[in-house]
């Protein structure tokens, strides 16, 4: 696993760790079942505070990208159906919220397109 942290203000370090691990897991660079370094070990190798890496791992676990197996460590999780279910639930919650806010379907879709462009911009 190779991670590069850029201290240039573009994104907080924990977000860079989260995005890079997520991208590598979803692309297959980090295969399902790959054991990730400990929080402390990764923090030391990247020159970051342990809390920064812990925050990234917590976000990754909430996203279903990784799973912690107690004292056995942290591993890349199987992302397929679980990720799709979570995305569908988030989409449903968004649709309901957009409707409550009074957006029509075109307005709600435009907001999603803008958010996706921003999230996937490289």
The torsion angles phi and psi of 4, rounded to 5 degrees, stand at -130, 125
Tens of pLDDT, residue by residue over 30-55, are 888 899 999 999 999 999 999 999 99
Residue in the block written with tokens 């989260």: 18
Tens of pLDDT, residue by residue over 7-29, are 886 899 999 999 999 999 888 88
> Distance between CA atoms of 41 and 94, rounded to whole angstroms?
37
Concatenated DSSP letters of 31-57? -TTPEEPPHHHHHHHHT--HHHHHHHH
The reported pTM is 0.66
| 77 SS3 class | coil
Q: What is the pLDDT of residue 28?
A: 82
Pair of tokens at residue 35? 């054991």
> Distance between CA atoms of 122 and 118, rounded to whole angstroms?
9
């Amino acid at each position: 696993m190779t991670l590069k942290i850029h201290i240039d203000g573009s994104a907080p370090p924990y977000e860079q760790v989260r995005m890079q691990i997520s991208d590598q897991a979803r692309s297959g660079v980090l295969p399902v079942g790959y054991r990730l370094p400990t929080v402390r070990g990764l923090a030391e190798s990247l020159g970051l505070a342990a809390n920064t890496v812990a925050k990234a791992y917590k976000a990754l676990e909430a996203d279903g990208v990784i799973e912690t197996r107690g004292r056995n460590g942290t591993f890349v999780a199987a992302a397929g159906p679980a990720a799709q279910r979570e995305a569908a639930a988030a989409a449903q919650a968004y649709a309901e919220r957009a409707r409550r806010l009074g957006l029509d379907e075109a307005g709600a879709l435009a907001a999603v397109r803008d958010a996706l462009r921003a999230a996937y911009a490289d």
